[in-house]
Each structure stands twice: as structure tokens, then as C-alpha cells.
Structure 1
Amino acid sequence: MLPEPMKLPQLIMAGGGKKSDVRDLTLEERLRLKKDGFATAPKHDSESSDDDDDDDDEDEDAGEDVVEEYGEDHQPTTKRANKNRPREITSKRPVGRFREVLQVRKKTTRDPRFDHASGKLNEDLFKKSYAFLDDIKEAELQEAKKQLKHAKSKTRKTELQQDISSRKQELAEAKRADRIRDANLKRKREEREAVENGKGAFYLKRKDKKQLELKAKFDELQESGRLSKFMEKRRKKNANKDHRWLPTQRKT
């Protein structure tokens, strides 16, 4: 007659309160434990031994707890105690240190002078609209000259002289640009009249434009009486250039 099957606590704690090795159980007892959800014997408060069998039991008992490992490049892995149980995966995800909570549109600066939405620049209209700025700059230059006459400090005089020189250079550059623009407008006006009279359209080369600008510059110098001084400086400059190509005198 077969003995009555042992109950689960009696089966696990067989051997005087010490944990029994799973390998000592029969196949029927192992299947019964597996069916009940106990793949291995659970831990107890009894002292653990240093044998290899106890180490194997501890490794198997650790499989009952869900082990989650977070990483940057891989998904979290889990373990389950029984293959018939569902795998438990946490819904928590590590939050990055520099995560973007709200996507803010990046602000971009826009210069209306170079934006196609502002249309094409009309230099003539721009010059007429802001012609009053030239008068303001001229008035500021005269005011700086008055301050220079009454200045007593040497440092203040130096600052005013530099300011006056800078303003004069700025006004001279503006006048030169106006002179070149007027010359180009005059040429375009003449070409437009010639086309209306039946002549074909003609476009100047860069070299011809340079000569036209130089002619306008000479006309302006002649009107102001500075042409002779300008030509003298130009001759000295060209002479220095030519002097570099002359053979040096041989030392004796």
C-alpha cells in the first residue's frame, strides 16, 4: 500500500527543520511543486550553510523577485518564477536629465534690409526719405567744431579732433557715393532715351563703369579746386611704384 502523499510544508521542511535539496525529491513531488507554483523551496529564517547546494537554492529563490535593469541603449529585463505566470514589466521609464518639456519655437532675428519680404530696395526713394539725416550730421559737425574752439583740456581736444575727422570722412564718403549714383542715373537716362529713339540696348562693362566713376570724381575735384593737388599726389605715387623696378646701383 502506497504511503499518503506528504503535504507541502512537510515536504519542504523534511529533515529536522533544514531545507531539503530539490534533487532529493522524486519526480512526482517535483511535478506537484511545479504545479503549485513552487519551483524551489522558499527561504526560511534558519542559518544558511556555505555548501554549493545552498548557493543554488539562493540563486533560484532570487528568481522569484522581479529584477529590473535600466540602461540607455537597451530595454529593461525581467525574470519570472514560473513560466505559467505573466511577465511583469514596469511602466516606469528613466527620465533624462535634459529632457525637453515644452517645445519652444526658436526666435530668429530678421534684418528687413536683406529680407525678400520687404521688397526690392529703391535707393532713390530711400535717399529722398532720409535726406534730413545729412543736415543733422552737418549740424553735428559744426557743433563739434565750436566745442573744439572752447575746449581747454588736451584730452578733450584730442577726442573732438578725432570726432571731427570721423564725421568729415563719413560725409565725404556719402558725397562720393551720391556722385557715383548720379553719374549712373545720368547714363541710364541717356540709354533709355536712345532706346526710345530706336537704338539697341547697351550695357556698360565693369571697366567702363570704373572710368565713368573716375571722370565724375575728376569733375568734382575740378569744381572744388583740388584737382592739381590730387594730380600731384597721384604722380608721386606712380613714381614710387616705377622706382621699384629700376636697377639698383652697383656698389664699388
Structure 2
Amino acid sequence: EKRMSAEAQLKRSKHCPQRISSKKAVSTLRVAPGLVNGTAKPKGRDPRFDAISKGSFDETRFRQQYAHVFEQQREEVKEIKAVLSSSRKAEKASQKGSVSKKRRVKSRILAPEVQDELKEELNQKSNKLQEHEQALAKQKAKSLARQKEVKAIGEGKRPFFQKQSDVKKTQLVAKYDELKQAGRLDKFMTKKRQKTASKQRRLLPSQRAGEGE
């Protein structure tokens, strides 16, 4: 009776260790009680979706920090253009000249599927660079407008808000300044004139048809 009462007293005490029968098989995957809630299976965690990893996106800071990436893309665009240009020249040279000359230039001719892949890559990179330059011009225009507002308020004037047309003009000026500093303004203006002339030529037939009526 004393032994039974002692065992019963041990069971009732919350400070006593857990007593498990030695006849029961023990799992090889054991976890200390209280450390894992429910199951011992570890749960995966993606830090990208943690609350601490989320924040507001600062486009200006992003483009400043990754300016070297866009510069590298600009160099890659130049290289792709050079390779495609070399292939076109080799194709023309292979159609005329001596046999030895044709053999020399044949190695520079790219396969049609390779040319298509390079052209697609060129278009993608060129579009990204164009978006980057437009974003830079927009940021510069906003910065200039903000500086004018701060200066006006500092001089005791009422704050003003630019019209959308004025914002576009400021962005265009900022874009031209950016191209001029990079030494690409002349090339940009030449392409722009060619594009405008091509658009006008497409409109001419419809204008003539309208005049005939």
C-alpha cells in the first residue's frame, strides 16, 4: 500500500519526469515535448515573403544602384549589332569575288536561326534600354520641377503645379541632355527624322486619293 501510494503521489506531482513503459517501441525520430507544436516535420520558410523583407520600391534609387547593369546591356547591344553587321557584309562578299575570298568570309556568315535569336535578343535589350532612358528623363524632369517648387516656396511665392504638357517638355529636354552627354544625340535625331519621313511617306497615298475625290 505504501508503494502504491508513493507511485500515485509521483504521478500527481507536476515536477515528476514523464514515465513511459519500456515495452512500448520508441520511434527513431523523436522530438522533445513542447519544442514542436503538433508535428515534428520542419516547415519551409521563404525570406522573400517575410514582413521584414517587404518595403516601398524606390525607382530612383534602384536605377542609380543598378546603373552598371544597364551600361553592360548597352555594351551587349553594341556587340550584337557588330556581329549582325559583320554577318550581313560577309553574305554580300560571298556573292562576288574569288573562291578564296568566299571561303574566308563564309566563316563569318551566321545561320538563319542564329540571326533570328540575336535579333530577338537585340530587340529585347534595346526596348529595356529605351524604357530605362525614358524613366531617367522622367525622374530628372520631376527633380527639376520639385527644385523649382521648393525655390518658389522659399521665396515666399505660392506653390505651383506644372501642366502635363510642360512636364512632357521638361522630360524631352532632360532626355536630350542625357543623350548629348552619352554622345548619342546625333544618332537619335537621325533615326527620329527617318522615322518621321517614313510616316509622312505612308500618309501620302491616302492624301492623294482624297485630293482626287
After TM superposition, the score normalised by the length of structure 2 is 0.48
Bigger relative contact order (CA 8 A; separation at least 6): 2
Per residue, is there more helix in 1 or in 2? 2
After TM superposition, the score normalised by the length of structure 1 is 0.42
